[in-house]
Amino acid sequence: MGLRGEVFSCKATTDNGKRTYFFNVKENRQGDLFLNVVESKPHAGTGYERHSIVVFEEDMEIFTKELQKSLDYIKDHREH
């Protein structure tokens, strides 16, 4: 088990640097894996504003299915 239960982590920063997304795979005390997605952005010059969502292992299939539907919708309806 890694730091604070993290077993894997990666991040994506927007080109303009206004947001960073962290994708953290963590393990709880029972050994269950879950995904913690965190959005972080500078807040009024003092610190960062953070928002997160947790997706549990048993929900990942339905979560990724619906996420992909949403991404496909955006792609198909994007104004050119």
Q: What is the pLDDT of residue 2?
A: 47
**10-residue mean pLDDT series, the chain (80 residues):** 76 96 94 96 88 97 98 90
Q: What does pTM read for this prediction?
A: 0.81
Cβ-based neighbours of 10, under 8 Å, separated by 6 or more: 22, 23
Within a 10 A sphere around the Cβ of 24, how many other Cβ atoms? 20
56: DSSP letter? E
Q: Number of structural domains, the chain?
A: 1
Name which of 33, 38, 40 is nearest 56 in CA terms.
33
Range of the domain at 47: 3-77
Q: Cβ(42)–Cβ(36) under 8 Å?
A: no
